[in-house]
Amino acid sequence: MSTAIYFNPENTRLLGKNQDVPYKGAYIFTNKRGVVKSALVQPPERPAKWISRYGSLTISQAGKEMPNGGINEAGLVVEQTTLWQSTYTDDDRLPTVGELQWIHLLLDTCASVKEAMQVAYGVRIAQPMSKLHYMIADRSGDCAIFEFLGGVMYIYRGSSLPFSIMANTPYTEAIKDLEDKEERWRIAYSDYDRNSMERFFKGATRLADVIPVSERERLQFTQDTLEFVRREDTAYTLIYDLEKMQLHFATSIYPDMKTVRIGALDFSSDAAPLALNLQKPAVSYINYNVEMNRRVAESFFRDPVLTKTFGWRITDDMIDYFASFPDKFLNKLDF
């Protein structure tokens, strides 16, 4: 399910995310600039290809290069939540990318929401394992929600984004329900859809509140908001500080907020890639390797609840490929 919300008072850019899923595993990965990449899609699809211009931190439950969200060194944040109504374009003139690697493509190549829009129009999502919509924000204060409905990409931005929040309801439907003074959705909706709107409603109420003045109070306000909209299955909470270039995180197992500073990390092409297990009591990086990536992927794709929910049929060979394909990418200088 999940909720994402963006606060943009003067001199503050905070994007908060609750990852609501009955699976607790999650890692942060560092990603280098200057890497030649190709989308992980099967024939007959034509994979998108690109070179990473920016280093980034990505958060993933499935393994490296398949992020749930992240922030790059230019201050662009891309996050997602489930949207079961999503259907992607079938325009076969466009190169393709998976719904999670789409996030990485934008983090690798874009510094702004405007650039992300341009890149998104040039690819299409294919062979998705989940259905998502996306929130993207940058350091200028720009924010947009990207949705794919009926094979068309819709972008809500500026005046078409009156509340910078998304849960698991199509955005225009959520705004319509928010404006319904009789709140008929509370009676008419299924448990799933009602829960989504309850979180959207709560988050929109917080966005309409007076935001505190001090940086510390604003961060606490964002954290309190995410607590306000959390579910019993919230696995982890993230707060991206786009101004200070920091990522704050807490998990259901270790609820004390911890901080990662993007500027302290090395994203150069010859840097060793790192990984950080969110479900540990302290911030402790380890060197990334394919063996640990396989453990991450296998644990995720073999989870019985997720397998039933998404209808996956993932073989051992597929898990091996998911785990090893990031190591097949070359540095630009070696290409």
Residue 186 resides in a domain: yes
Average of pLDDT values for 72-84?
98
Return the structure tokens found at 217.
């109070």
pLDDT, average across residues 63-86: 98
Percent of the chain whose predicted confidence (pLDDT) is above 90? 90
In a domain, 27, yes or no: yes
- In terms of residue numbers, what domain contains 202? 3-288
Residue 212 Cα to chain centre, angstroms = 26
Burial class (CB in 10 A: 0-12, 13-18, 19+), 231: middle
In this structure, is residue 295 part of a structural domain?
A: no
**For the segment 305-322, what is each residue's pLDDT rounded down to a tens digit?**
888 888 888 899 999 999
Which CATH number do you get for residue 152? 3.60.60.10
Q: Indicate the pLDDT class of residue 335, thresholds 50, 70 and 90.
A: very low
For the chain, how are helix, strand and coil distributed in percent, rounded to 5? 30, 25, 40
For the question of whether the overall pTM of this predicted structure is more than 0.85, the answer is yes
Question: Does the residue 321 lie in any domain?
Answer: no
pLDDT at 333: 58
Q: Is residue 301 part of a domain?
A: no
Whether 316 is in a domain gets the answer: no
Average per-residue pLDDT in the chain? 95
Q: How many helices (H) and strands (E) does the chain have?
A: 9, 20
Q: Is residue 318 part of a domain?
A: no
Which tens digits make up the pLDDT trace of 118-162? 999 999 999 999 999 999 999 999 999 999 999 999 999 999 999
Query: How many domains does the structure of the chain reveal?
Result: 1
Q: Does position 85 have pLDDT exceeding 70, yes or no?
A: yes
Q: What is the pLDDT of residue 332?
A: 67
For 246, other C-beta atoms within 10 Å of its C-beta total 17
Least confident of 59-68, 75-84, 270-279, 298-307: 298-307
169 vs 207: CA distance, rounded Å = 18
Distances (CA, A) of 191 to 126, 161, 185, 196, 318: 29, 26, 10, 9, 34
Whether 205 is in a domain gets the answer: yes
